[in-house]
Amino acid sequence: MATSDRRNPPALETTGEWHRWQMEDLGHEHTSDTGHPVFDAEAQRQRRQQEADARARQVASEKAEREGFESGHREGHEQGYQAGYQEGLEAANAAAELEFQKRLEMTLNPLAELADNFRHALTSLDTEVADQLIELALITGRQLAGESLAANPDQILSVVRELLDADTTLNGKPRLWLHPADLELVTAAMGETLAASGWECHPDPALERGGCRATSAGGGLDASLSTHWKAILGQRRQRKAPSVSESPEPPVEPNAEDEADDA
């Protein structure tokens, strides 16, 4: 049984009629039994190529869009950075300049005050030195005048002549007051002239040698050395309290005889 089956295989079952196969046109679209088209390998390759190209274009478009956005963002950022940097730089420079001015004022103000004090000190020193030099010159001049009078006592005669020639207001009974030593010189040299003019000569020990004073009912003149000294000191520019050497000499008490004659 088994051998028989192997010698005579069963016939193939068929579900339809047999057809002769023929090669169809390559350009013809194949259709399956279900009615859907069947594409060959070339069509599938082209389709895949088209899909790849579409994806590449999409990727390129997205890349270009992304790069454009990034470029615009970068340019905007750079422009904003430059503008902000410039504004910040200007603000920093202004703040630094203001701070520098403040520090400069803080540094120079004490120096300016010091310089001003130094200038005032120099001015005060110049004034004090000048005053001291003037005072020294006056003291020296007065001492030299005293020495000159001691060496040439006849100088009183010139003083008396100038007094008589310069003043015409002395009337009535004019009197001439002199140091006792000068009175002797004047009386010996000008006694007759003075008497002829109506002058009376009187001694005054309070007067310094070389000076004199004149009195009359109409007034008086003081040509004493102390008066000349006070006048010179009064012309000085005063910047401080008078020194001891500038203090006025005590007033001379009027002669009792002079007061009695004036009465």
Look up the CATH number of the domain holding residue 229: 3.30.2320.30
Model pLDDT for residues 113-150, shown as the tens digit of each residue: 777 776 776 676 566 666 666 665 656 655 555 555 55
Answer whether residue 35 is part of any domain: no
In terms of Cα–Cα distance, which of 161, 258, 246 is closest to 207? 258
Instruction: Tell me the pLDDT of the chain averaged across its residues.
Output: 70
The domain containing residue 195 runs over which residues? 153-237
Cα distances (Å, whole numbers) of residue 63 to 41, 165, 224: 32, 127, 121
pLDDT of residue 203: 94
pLDDT band at 263 (very low <50, low <70, confident <90, very high): very low
CA distance 152 to 95: 83
pLDDT of 1 over the 50 cut: no
Answer whether residue 231 is part of any domain: yes
pLDDT of 56 over the 70 cut: yes
Answer whether residue 179 is part of any domain: yes
pLDDT of residue 51: 86
Number of structural domains found in the chain:
1
Answer whether residue 144 is part of any domain: no
Answer whether residue 217 is part of any domain: yes
Answer whether residue 215 is part of any domain: yes
pLDDT of 24 over the 90 cut: no
Place of tokens 């060959």: 40
More confident: 108 or 175: 175
Of the chain, the percentage scoring pLDDT greater than 90 comes to 3
Answer whether residue 169 is part of any domain: yes
pLDDT band at 61 (very low <50, low <70, confident <90, very high): confident
More confident: 54 or 111: 54
Place of tokens 């274009």: 57
CA distance 136 to 51: 123
pLDDT band at 252 (very low <50, low <70, confident <90, very high): very low
Answer whether residue 256 is part of any domain: no
